[in-house]
Structure 1
Amino acid sequence: MSEFTIPLSRVMVLERTLEHGGTATCKLQRPEASLDAQVYIENDNTTHHIKVTMGPLVSSLTLPRRLATKCQSLRDFLQDLANGRADSGAMSEEALALLEAQDSVDEVLLVGQIAYVINTVNRALPLGAVVTNDQGEVCAAVTGSDKEHLAAAVRAKLQPGHEGLGECA
Protein backbone atom coordinates (compact mmCIF):
# COMPACT_ATOMS: atom_id res chain seq x y z
CA MET A 1 0.00 0.00 0.00
CA SER A 2 1.34 3.45 -0.91
CA GLU A 3 1.48 6.45 1.40
CA PHE A 4 -0.70 9.57 1.54
CA THR A 5 0.93 12.56 -0.18
CA ILE A 6 -0.11 16.14 -0.83
CA PRO A 7 -0.33 17.21 -4.48
CA LEU A 8 1.71 20.28 -5.46
CA SER A 9 -1.41 22.39 -6.07
CA ARG A 10 -2.50 21.82 -2.45
CA VAL A 11 1.01 22.62 -1.18
CA MET A 12 0.68 26.03 -2.87
CA VAL A 13 -2.68 26.62 -1.12
CA LEU A 14 -1.07 25.62 2.19
CA GLU A 15 1.78 28.07 1.57
CA ARG A 16 -0.66 30.97 0.98
CA THR A 17 -2.71 30.03 4.04
CA LEU A 18 0.45 29.74 6.13
CA GLU A 19 1.47 33.28 5.20
CA HIS A 20 -1.94 34.94 5.61
CA GLY A 21 -3.61 32.71 8.22
CA GLY A 22 -7.10 31.28 8.04
CA THR A 23 -8.42 27.88 7.12
CA ALA A 24 -7.81 25.46 4.29
CA THR A 25 -8.86 21.95 3.39
CA CYS A 26 -5.93 19.88 2.27
CA LYS A 27 -6.62 16.65 0.39
CA LEU A 28 -4.01 13.97 0.94
CA GLN A 29 -4.05 11.25 -1.71
CA ARG A 30 -2.87 7.79 -2.45
CA PRO A 31 -4.04 5.62 -5.36
CA GLU A 32 -6.73 3.75 -3.43
CA ALA A 33 -7.97 6.50 -1.08
CA SER A 34 -7.99 10.17 -0.14
CA LEU A 35 -8.17 11.97 3.18
CA ASP A 36 -9.16 15.57 3.96
CA ALA A 37 -7.22 17.53 6.55
CA GLN A 38 -8.82 20.70 7.93
CA VAL A 39 -6.00 23.15 8.61
CA TYR A 40 -6.51 26.28 10.74
CA ILE A 41 -3.62 28.74 10.93
CA GLU A 42 -3.34 31.73 13.24
CA ASN A 43 -0.31 33.97 12.87
CA ASP A 44 1.36 36.43 15.18
CA ASN A 45 4.52 38.45 14.62
CA THR A 46 6.90 35.56 15.24
CA THR A 47 5.04 32.26 14.84
CA HIS A 48 2.43 30.29 12.92
CA HIS A 49 0.02 28.41 15.23
CA ILE A 50 -1.44 25.49 13.30
CA LYS A 51 -4.32 23.20 14.27
CA VAL A 52 -5.07 20.17 12.09
CA THR A 53 -8.13 17.92 12.14
CA MET A 54 -8.23 14.66 10.18
CA GLY A 55 -11.40 12.80 11.06
CA PRO A 56 -11.19 12.12 14.81
CA LEU A 57 -7.49 13.03 14.96
CA VAL A 58 -6.60 16.53 16.16
CA SER A 59 -3.05 17.79 16.35
CA SER A 60 -1.19 21.08 16.46
CA LEU A 61 2.12 22.53 15.40
CA THR A 62 3.90 25.82 15.96
CA LEU A 63 6.41 27.05 13.41
CA PRO A 64 8.63 30.15 13.46
CA ARG A 65 7.63 32.67 10.77
CA ARG A 66 11.26 33.12 9.70
CA LEU A 67 11.86 29.38 9.12
CA ALA A 68 12.89 28.99 5.48
CA THR A 69 11.47 25.45 5.28
CA LYS A 70 8.18 26.13 7.10
CA CYS A 71 5.96 25.10 4.17
CA GLN A 72 7.87 21.84 3.75
CA SER A 73 7.68 21.30 7.52
CA LEU A 74 3.90 21.72 7.44
CA ARG A 75 3.60 19.39 4.44
CA ASP A 76 5.74 16.74 6.16
CA PHE A 77 3.73 17.11 9.39
CA LEU A 78 0.44 16.55 7.54
CA GLN A 79 1.78 13.57 5.62
CA ASP A 80 3.22 12.05 8.81
CA LEU A 81 -0.16 12.43 10.54
CA ALA A 82 -2.04 10.86 7.62
CA ASN A 83 0.41 7.97 7.43
CA GLY A 84 0.41 7.27 11.17
CA ARG A 85 4.01 8.32 11.77
CA ALA A 86 3.41 11.15 14.24
CA ASP A 87 3.78 9.99 17.83
CA SER A 88 2.22 13.25 18.98
CA GLY A 89 -0.73 12.99 16.60
CA ALA A 90 -3.34 12.48 19.31
CA MET A 91 -3.71 15.41 21.64
CA SER A 92 -3.68 14.93 25.38
CA GLU A 93 -6.74 15.76 27.47
CA GLU A 94 -4.81 18.72 28.85
CA ALA A 95 -4.10 20.06 25.36
CA LEU A 96 -7.73 19.61 24.32
CA ALA A 97 -8.87 21.43 27.48
CA LEU A 98 -6.55 24.33 26.60
CA LEU A 99 -7.93 24.52 23.06
CA GLU A 100 -11.51 24.50 24.35
CA ALA A 101 -10.65 27.20 26.91
CA GLN A 102 -8.99 29.25 24.16
CA ASP A 103 -12.14 28.99 22.02
CA SER A 104 -14.35 30.03 24.97
CA VAL A 105 -12.18 33.04 25.78
CA ASP A 106 -11.91 34.07 22.11
CA GLU A 107 -15.71 34.38 22.00
CA VAL A 108 -15.71 37.20 24.59
CA LEU A 109 -12.83 39.25 23.16
CA LEU A 110 -13.28 42.68 21.66
CA VAL A 111 -12.01 43.54 18.19
CA GLY A 112 -8.23 43.88 18.16
CA GLN A 113 -7.64 41.76 21.27
CA ILE A 114 -5.66 38.53 21.49
CA ALA A 115 -5.90 35.97 24.30
CA TYR A 116 -3.16 33.65 25.47
CA VAL A 117 -4.50 30.70 27.48
CA ILE A 118 -2.17 28.62 29.65
CA ASN A 119 -2.17 26.03 32.41
CA THR A 120 -1.40 27.32 35.89
CA VAL A 121 0.12 25.53 38.88
CA ASN A 122 -2.95 26.30 41.01
CA ARG A 123 -5.13 23.17 41.21
CA ALA A 124 -8.22 25.19 42.18
CA LEU A 125 -7.75 27.56 39.20
CA PRO A 126 -5.86 25.47 36.62
CA LEU A 127 -6.44 27.77 33.63
CA GLY A 128 -5.06 31.25 33.05
CA ALA A 129 -5.54 33.86 30.35
CA VAL A 130 -3.80 37.08 29.44
CA VAL A 131 -5.52 39.36 26.94
CA THR A 132 -3.55 41.97 25.00
CA ASN A 133 -4.49 44.56 22.41
CA ASP A 134 -2.89 45.14 19.00
CA GLN A 135 -0.10 47.16 20.64
CA GLY A 136 0.75 44.34 23.06
CA GLU A 137 -0.67 46.13 26.11
CA VAL A 138 -2.23 43.86 28.72
CA CYS A 139 -6.02 44.34 28.93
CA ALA A 140 -6.81 41.50 31.33
CA ALA A 141 -5.09 38.75 33.29
CA VAL A 142 -7.30 36.15 34.97
CA THR A 143 -7.45 32.56 36.17
CA GLY A 144 -10.36 30.14 36.15
CA SER A 145 -11.49 26.72 37.32
CA ASP A 146 -12.77 25.67 33.86
CA LYS A 147 -13.32 27.14 30.39
CA GLU A 148 -16.66 28.76 31.31
CA HIS A 149 -15.28 30.33 34.49
CA LEU A 150 -12.22 31.58 32.61
CA ALA A 151 -14.33 33.15 29.82
CA ALA A 152 -16.62 34.79 32.40
CA ALA A 153 -13.62 36.24 34.25
CA VAL A 154 -12.22 37.66 31.00
CA ARG A 155 -15.63 39.11 30.05
CA ALA A 156 -15.91 40.76 33.47
CA LYS A 157 -12.46 42.37 33.13
CA LEU A 158 -13.18 43.62 29.61
CA GLN A 159 -16.58 45.19 30.36
CA PRO A 160 -16.66 48.85 29.27
CA GLY A 161 -16.33 51.13 32.27
CA HIS A 162 -14.83 48.38 34.45
CA GLU A 163 -11.92 49.90 36.32
CA GLY A 164 -8.58 48.28 35.89
CA LEU A 165 -6.79 46.47 33.10
CA GLY A 166 -9.84 46.02 30.84
CA GLU A 167 -9.82 49.71 29.92
CA CYS A 168 -7.18 49.30 27.25
CA ALA A 169 -8.96 48.58 23.97
Structure 2
Amino acid sequence: MTKDKPIKSLEDLKGLKIRVSSRNVGDLLTAWGASPVSMPITEVYNSMSTGVIDGVYTDASVLQSFKLNEVTQYVTKGMHSALSPQFLIMNRDSWEGLDEAGKAAMTKLTGVEMSEKGRKIQADHAEAALKAFTENGKEVITLSETEAAKFNAASAKLLDQAVADLEAKGVKAQDFVSALKQ
Protein backbone atom coordinates (compact mmCIF):
# COMPACT_ATOMS: atom_id res chain seq x y z
CA MET A 1 0.00 0.00 0.00
CA THR A 2 1.46 3.33 -0.97
CA LYS A 3 0.49 6.93 -0.46
CA ASP A 4 1.72 8.70 -3.58
CA LYS A 5 3.42 6.28 -5.94
CA PRO A 6 1.74 3.40 -7.74
CA ILE A 7 3.79 0.19 -7.69
CA LYS A 8 3.48 -1.46 -11.10
CA SER A 9 6.97 -2.91 -11.29
CA LEU A 10 9.77 -4.03 -9.01
CA GLU A 11 11.71 -0.92 -10.02
CA ASP A 12 8.93 1.32 -8.65
CA LEU A 13 9.77 0.21 -5.09
CA LYS A 14 13.41 1.28 -5.31
CA GLY A 15 14.26 3.50 -2.35
CA LEU A 16 10.72 3.79 -0.98
CA LYS A 17 10.38 3.63 2.80
CA ILE A 18 7.91 0.83 3.52
CA ARG A 19 6.70 -0.20 6.97
CA VAL A 20 7.24 -3.89 7.70
CA SER A 21 6.08 -6.07 10.55
CA SER A 22 9.15 -8.27 11.04
CA ARG A 23 12.80 -8.80 10.18
CA ASN A 24 11.87 -11.45 7.60
CA VAL A 25 9.44 -9.13 5.86
CA GLY A 26 12.12 -6.44 6.00
CA ASP A 27 14.50 -8.81 4.20
CA LEU A 28 11.82 -9.38 1.58
CA LEU A 29 11.29 -5.66 0.99
CA THR A 30 15.05 -5.12 0.82
CA ALA A 31 15.28 -7.83 -1.85
CA TRP A 32 12.57 -5.96 -3.73
CA GLY A 33 14.56 -2.70 -3.53
CA ALA A 34 12.63 -0.86 -0.83
CA SER A 35 13.93 0.47 2.48
CA PRO A 36 12.12 -1.37 5.28
CA VAL A 37 10.98 0.59 8.32
CA SER A 38 9.92 -1.28 11.43
CA MET A 39 7.10 0.27 13.43
CA PRO A 40 3.84 -0.76 15.09
CA ILE A 41 0.81 -0.78 12.80
CA THR A 42 -0.74 1.84 15.08
CA GLU A 43 1.89 4.37 13.94
CA VAL A 44 1.43 3.79 10.20
CA TYR A 45 -1.46 6.24 9.63
CA ASN A 46 0.43 9.23 11.01
CA SER A 47 3.71 8.14 9.44
CA MET A 48 2.14 7.85 5.99
CA SER A 49 0.19 11.08 6.31
CA THR A 50 3.31 13.04 7.28
CA GLY A 51 5.65 11.38 4.78
CA VAL A 52 7.81 9.53 7.30
CA ILE A 53 7.09 6.40 5.25
CA ASP A 54 5.89 5.97 1.67
CA GLY A 55 3.81 2.90 2.29
CA VAL A 56 3.10 -0.22 4.29
CA TYR A 57 3.40 -3.93 3.58
CA THR A 58 0.38 -5.56 5.18
CA ASP A 59 -2.90 -7.30 4.51
CA ALA A 60 -5.73 -5.33 2.89
CA SER A 61 -7.99 -5.99 5.86
CA VAL A 62 -6.30 -3.11 7.72
CA LEU A 63 -7.45 -0.55 5.15
CA GLN A 64 -10.61 -0.04 7.15
CA SER A 65 -9.72 -1.25 10.63
CA PHE A 66 -6.75 1.17 10.89
CA LYS A 67 -8.26 3.73 8.48
CA LEU A 68 -5.31 3.36 6.13
CA ASN A 69 -7.74 3.88 3.25
CA GLU A 70 -7.59 7.57 4.20
CA VAL A 71 -3.82 7.85 3.58
CA THR A 72 -3.37 5.18 0.90
CA GLN A 73 -3.93 5.80 -2.79
CA TYR A 74 -2.61 2.54 -4.24
CA VAL A 75 -2.67 -1.14 -3.32
CA THR A 76 -0.51 -3.52 -5.33
CA LYS A 77 -1.11 -7.25 -5.43
CA GLY A 78 -0.23 -10.26 -7.53
CA MET A 79 3.22 -11.24 -6.27
CA HIS A 80 4.10 -14.01 -3.84
CA SER A 81 4.25 -12.58 -0.37
CA ALA A 82 5.28 -13.34 3.17
CA LEU A 83 2.99 -15.14 5.57
CA SER A 84 1.88 -13.60 8.83
CA PRO A 85 0.94 -16.57 10.95
CA GLN A 86 -1.72 -16.09 13.54
CA PHE A 87 -2.29 -18.46 16.39
CA LEU A 88 -4.16 -18.93 19.60
CA ILE A 89 -2.13 -19.82 22.66
CA MET A 90 -3.25 -21.16 26.00
CA ASN A 91 -1.13 -21.04 29.12
CA ARG A 92 0.15 -24.55 29.91
CA ASP A 93 -0.91 -24.31 33.56
CA SER A 94 -4.41 -23.30 32.47
CA TRP A 95 -4.53 -26.24 30.06
CA GLU A 96 -3.34 -28.65 32.70
CA GLY A 97 -5.92 -27.23 35.12
CA LEU A 98 -8.76 -28.32 32.83
CA ASP A 99 -10.53 -31.60 33.42
CA GLU A 100 -10.78 -34.07 30.53
CA ALA A 101 -14.16 -32.67 29.43
CA GLY A 102 -12.70 -29.16 29.33
CA LYS A 103 -9.68 -30.31 27.33
CA ALA A 104 -11.96 -32.15 24.90
CA ALA A 105 -14.11 -29.02 24.47
CA MET A 106 -11.06 -26.82 23.82
CA THR A 107 -9.63 -29.33 21.36
CA LYS A 108 -12.95 -29.45 19.51
CA LEU A 109 -13.05 -25.64 19.25
CA THR A 110 -9.53 -25.34 17.84
CA GLY A 111 -7.53 -26.97 15.06
CA VAL A 112 -7.96 -26.98 11.31
CA GLU A 113 -11.64 -26.01 11.33
CA MET A 114 -11.01 -22.95 13.50
CA SER A 115 -7.99 -22.02 11.38
CA GLU A 116 -10.02 -22.18 8.19
CA LYS A 117 -12.82 -20.07 9.68
CA GLY A 118 -10.29 -17.46 10.78
CA ARG A 119 -8.65 -17.43 7.34
CA LYS A 120 -12.02 -16.99 5.65
CA ILE A 121 -13.07 -14.16 7.96
CA GLN A 122 -9.83 -12.28 7.27
CA ALA A 123 -10.00 -12.93 3.51
CA ASP A 124 -13.63 -11.75 3.36
CA HIS A 125 -12.75 -8.62 5.35
CA ALA A 126 -9.82 -7.87 3.01
CA GLU A 127 -12.01 -8.35 -0.06
CA ALA A 128 -14.66 -5.99 1.32
CA ALA A 129 -11.98 -3.42 2.23
CA LEU A 130 -10.55 -3.52 -1.31
CA LYS A 131 -14.02 -3.15 -2.81
CA ALA A 132 -14.72 -0.06 -0.66
CA PHE A 133 -11.23 1.25 -1.50
CA THR A 134 -11.87 1.17 -5.26
CA GLU A 135 -15.39 2.54 -4.83
CA ASN A 136 -13.76 5.60 -3.25
CA GLY A 137 -11.68 6.20 -6.37
CA LYS A 138 -8.50 4.56 -5.14
CA GLU A 139 -6.52 2.13 -7.31
CA VAL A 140 -5.85 -1.57 -6.82
CA ILE A 141 -3.02 -2.65 -9.10
CA THR A 142 -2.67 -6.29 -10.07
CA LEU A 143 0.83 -6.91 -11.38
CA SER A 144 1.26 -8.33 -14.86
CA GLU A 145 2.64 -11.87 -15.00
CA THR A 146 5.99 -10.49 -16.16
CA GLU A 147 6.25 -8.02 -13.28
CA ALA A 148 4.99 -10.52 -10.70
CA ALA A 149 7.69 -12.93 -11.88
CA LYS A 150 10.37 -10.33 -11.05
CA PHE A 151 9.04 -9.96 -7.49
CA ASN A 152 8.73 -13.74 -7.14
CA ALA A 153 12.28 -14.36 -8.36
CA ALA A 154 13.65 -11.97 -5.74
CA SER A 155 11.50 -13.66 -3.07
CA ALA A 156 12.59 -17.15 -4.14
CA LYS A 157 16.25 -16.31 -3.52
CA LEU A 158 15.44 -15.41 0.09
CA LEU A 159 13.41 -18.57 0.58
CA ASP A 160 16.14 -20.75 -0.88
CA GLN A 161 18.73 -19.18 1.45
CA ALA A 162 16.50 -19.51 4.52
CA VAL A 163 15.79 -23.17 3.75
CA ALA A 164 19.50 -23.89 3.21
CA ASP A 165 20.43 -22.15 6.49
CA LEU A 166 17.83 -24.08 8.47
CA GLU A 167 18.60 -27.41 6.81
CA ALA A 168 22.28 -26.91 7.75
CA LYS A 169 21.12 -26.65 11.38
CA GLY A 170 19.18 -29.91 11.10
CA VAL A 171 15.73 -28.35 10.67
CA LYS A 172 13.65 -30.01 7.96
CA ALA A 173 12.69 -26.64 6.48
CA GLN A 174 12.07 -27.95 2.96
CA ASP A 175 9.39 -30.29 4.33
CA PHE A 176 7.69 -27.28 5.94
CA VAL A 177 7.87 -25.24 2.71
CA SER A 178 6.50 -28.15 0.71
CA ALA A 179 3.59 -28.54 3.15
CA LEU A 180 2.74 -24.85 2.87
CA LYS A 181 2.61 -25.11 -0.93
CA GLN A 182 0.01 -27.91 -0.80
Query: Shorter chain as normaliser: what TM range?
Result: under 0.3
| Greater percentage in strand | 1
| Greater percentage in helix | 2
